[in-house]
Every structure is written in C-alpha cells, then in structure tokens.
C-alpha cells in the first residue's frame, strides 16, 4: 500500500502550522527536513520536544529524517558527517521512523572519485547498521549517484543494506528516463518515492504528471504490483519551477494532483 507523506516545510515555516495543514489534507505522515528554518540535524532538544507535541496533537507521524548528509563535496571531512548520521539515527528512533536520507557527494569526475565514494558509503552503511536505521539514498543531480547504474554500485558497496529513494524529477534533470531506464534496474532496491516532476528540455519542476517523469507509467506499475512504501510530495514549484517554497494552497493543490495521478 502506498502511504502519502510530504515536505510540509515547503509551504509553511511554523511547524505546528505544517502539521495542522498535513492533517487537514488527510496525511498521516510528514517528512522531517527542517523545523522552522533550521535543518533537522541542528534542532535542539527543546525544539524536538515541541515538534513531538505538535505531531501528537494531530496524530501525525514522521516517515523519514531527511538529512542533507552526503550533499557535500566528495573530499569534505567525513568525521562530522558520520557524527551527523549518528545524530540522525537518534532522531529517527525518537520520532519512530526507520528511515534516514542521505546523498552520495558532489563530484564532477565520478569515475575518478568512484573508489572514495564507495568507501565512504560503506562507512555510512556500517554506522546505519550499528544504529539500527535504514539508510535511503536519493538520486540527485551533481552527485555520484545521479544515474541508475551508479546507484546500484552504491547499494553493492553497502553490502546491499542501502535502500534507494527514487526521485523521477531528479532523473529527468540528469537526462535519464525514469520509468523506461531507471525503474527496471532499481525497483528491487527502492523503498521510498519522492513525488515531483520536471521537463527534460528546461529542467523546470512541474506538478506530478505534467513533466517528463513518466508518472502515469509509474503509477500504473505501482497500482498493478500493489507496491508498499512511502510516496513523499516535494512540490519544488516556487521560483518559477526552479525549486523553492510554495504557498499553502499550491502545496495542497499539488497533493491533490499527486493523489489523482496515483489513483487514475
């Protein structure tokens, strides 16, 4: 069964307001990337406690701790990132989710940096196992894992403990056909979806189903296979489709569009 969740921080800064919006829109979960304006890993104990209270007030849960770990240059010091992963794991346990998101480091020379990236991901995977969380890798433009082939290399380097977070729009922006090319290779390792779309010609983000992300084909497959996992709305419709925040109304409208595509 598909469980919808989303990045409510794109619609509101107020965390209680985000949770209220999610609940009113019929969501049972949200994805935790920021609380207020600060990244989740910078949250204080007091801030975390207030967030838990807001979630409990509306019976909303957390689907994933969406860190920016691995969104650093490939040669950035690894120690602070490993410490950040341990902190994220503690937050995952606190909020009752098994999932922590990561990336695979910015590189302009992936072939040259392959050994370093794979070694670093193996260390990330080892920490995740020690901390009893599931590490989710998101395909993203500019990082090592921006193609399905390299995503599979990352899974292998983790001893097949790394799971994949599949973002069709990000694949479009990297010149990859999401359903025709990426999905058949990655489906067995995918545990989580991000819901946004993009146009291949411009890279601009669009509502789901209005770009080249092959959402109709993917939705047909998900329904036919009774796929079980989270699908997280990440509209990115602000700044003329270049990313950024949206209004509450546009966020809720994007959620309605996603529901329509998934159930068509």
Pairwise CA distance, residues 251 & 24, whole Å:
12
Return the SS3 of 156: helix
pLDDT of residue 199: 97
Q: How far is CA 108 from the centre of its chain?
A: 22
Host H or E run for residue 210: none
Q: Which pLDDT tens digit goes with each residue over 212-233? A: 999 999 999 999 999 999 999 9
Question: Is pLDDT of 190 > 90?
Answer: yes
Which DSSP state fits 88?
H
CA distances for 203 relative to 56, 96, 232, angstroms:
38, 35, 20
Looking at the structure of the chain, the number of domains it has is 1
Domain range for residue 188? 2-263
Please give the residue that has the higher pLDDT: either 8 or 244. 8
Task: Give me the CATH number covering residue 110.
Answer: 3.20.20.150
Residue 203 has a pLDDT of 95
For range 168-175, the mean pLDDT: 98
Residues 133-166 have pLDDT tens digits of 999 999 999 999 999 999 999 999 999 999 999 9
Q: Decide if pLDDT at 241 tops 80.
A: no
Cβ-count burial 70-93 (b if 16+ within 10 Å, e if not): bbbebeeebeebbebbebbbebbe
**Position 240 confidence tier, pLDDT thresholds 50, 70, 90:** confident
d(C-alpha 62, C-alpha 192), whole Å: 13
Candidates 132, 114, 258, 134; CA nearest to 197 is 258
What is the rounded CA–CA span in Å between residue 228 and residue 230? 7
Which stretch of DSSP H or E encloses residue 84? helix 79-95
């Amino acid at each position: 069964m598909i469980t919808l969740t989303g990045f409510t921080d794109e619609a509101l800064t107020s965390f209680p307001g985000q949770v209220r919006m999610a609940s009113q829109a019929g969501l049972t979960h949200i994805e935790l990337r920021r609380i207020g304006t600060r990244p989740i890993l910078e949250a204080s104990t007091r801030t975390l406690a207030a967030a838990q209270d807001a979630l409990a007030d509306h019976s909303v849960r957390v689907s994933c701790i969406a860190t920016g770990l691995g969104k650093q240059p490939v040669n950035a010091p690894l120690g602070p990132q490993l410490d950040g992963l341990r902190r994220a794991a503690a937050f995952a346990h606190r909020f009752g989710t098994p999932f922590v998101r990561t990336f695979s480091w910015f590189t302009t020379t992936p072939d040259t940096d392959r050994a370093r990236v794979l070694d670093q991901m193996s260390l990330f995977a080892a920490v995740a196992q020690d901390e009893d969380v599931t590490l989710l890798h998101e395909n993203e433009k500019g990082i090592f894992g921006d193609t399905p082939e390299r995503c599979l290399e990352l899974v292998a380097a983790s001893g097949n403990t790394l799971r994949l977070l599949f973002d069709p729009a990000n694949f479009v922006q990297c010149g990859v056909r999401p359903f025709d090319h990426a999905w058949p290779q990655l489906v067995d390792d995918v545990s989580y979806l991000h819901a946004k779309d993009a146009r291949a010609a411009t890279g601009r983000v669009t509502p789901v189903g209005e770009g080249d992300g092959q959402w109709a084909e993917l939705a047909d497959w998900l329904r036919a296979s009774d796929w079980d996992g989270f699908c997280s709305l990440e509209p990115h419709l602000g700044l003329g489709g270049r990313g950024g925040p949206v209004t509450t109304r546009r966020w809720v409208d994007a959620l309605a569009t996603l529901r329509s595509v998934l159930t068509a």
